Amino acid sequence: MRYRITQRPLISVILPVHNAEKYLVEALESLRYQTYPHFEVIAIDDASNDLSYRILQNYAKIDSRFRVFKNKTNLKIANTLNFGLTKAKGNYIARMDADDISLPNRFQKQLHFLQKHPGVVVVGGQCLTIDKDSHLTGKKLFPTSHIDIHELMYTANPLQHPSIMINRQLLPKSFSWYNPHLTPAEDLDLYFRLGKFGLFANLKTTVLMYRQHGDSETFRNPKHTFAITQKVRRLAVEKHGYKPKAKAKVIAAIQSLVLSVIPTSLVFPLYTLVRGTKIKEKLENLNLRLAS
């Protein structure tokens, strides 16, 4: 049955896609069957050379909530996201990546939270991690209070980008979204600037299954990623009024030292050890309830 949007508030989901045919159907199905149905998916194929665009076209035929666009050339993620945002009609902007999976009640819970907390400009949530074969590998826990999220921004990314929902009603129409010169840390730069217009939050419940692997853009050249992240932090202090605490400065300095001495091949394993909890052998002990 072809679904038609009939009610508001409308959520606009921005979904950049590039050569994601292996994971794309899982991602799209997780969006299609959200318990809150009043959304549109702005899916932009970034000049894929696999079957991604055909898959997107098929979904647009069966569900009018899926609006599909295609870049003639590969514009990369920041430019692609900015293009998608020009097409968005909703007052709420959700992010999603083509290799991740949103849990069924994600939109319902995040929208309810934003409506109940009108001063919050962006909300994320807790995440489970999966590998290339969609096997559950661990969990990523994020702080939930504005103060804790704000403090963590100088030493780690406190919001999982494809898990966020933004209340666009709190932003000026002239708001500048993603800076293509700061990829792959364009999301962190966005958070620093969003902080001028509202509070940060993460839900306590799990909202996303995040595909974490060494082939992702963040880890293809991890030392370059960290260098851009440092640049974003400097800009936050110099231009956006961010004031890191002394402890955060020390941790950031230690991070720089460690990254300068360890081999690139060890960055991803070290990251998963520090930032994610491996649970391959004892999944039955996982205390997070996926549907809670």
Asked whether the CA dihedral 67, 68, 71, 75 is positive or negative, the reply is positive
Answer whether residue 195 is part of any domain. yes
Q: What is the CATH number of the domain that holds 31?
A: 3.90.550.10
Residue 5 lies in a domain: no
The number of folded domains in the chain is 1
Helices 52-62 and 21-32, packing angle to 10 deg:
20
Q: What is the pTM of this model?
A: 0.88
Give the model's pLDDT for residue 220. 64
**CA-to-CA dists, residue 198 to 71, 79, 192, 272, angstroms:** 33, 24, 11, 31
Task: Find out whether 172 and 145 touch, Cβ atoms under 8 Å.
Answer: no
Residues 6+ apart with CB under 8 A from 3: 37, 63, 64, 65
195 within 8 A of 147, measured Cβ to Cβ: no
pLDDT score of 255? 80
Local structure of 256: helix, strand or coil: helix
At 152 the pLDDT is 95
pLDDT along the chain (292 residues), means of 10: 60 98 97 97 98 98 97 97 97 97 98 98 97 92 97 95 98 96 96 97 98 65 84 95 93 81 63 49 42 44
Q: Which domain holds residue 112?
A: 11-278
pLDDT given for residue 270 in this prediction: 55
DSSP category for residue 145: S
Q: Which pLDDT does position 287 carry in this prediction?
A: 41
Within a domain: residue 2?
no
**Confidence (pLDDT) at 278:** 46
- 25 lies in some domain: yes
User: What is the pLDDT, as a whole number, of residue 58?
Assistant: 97
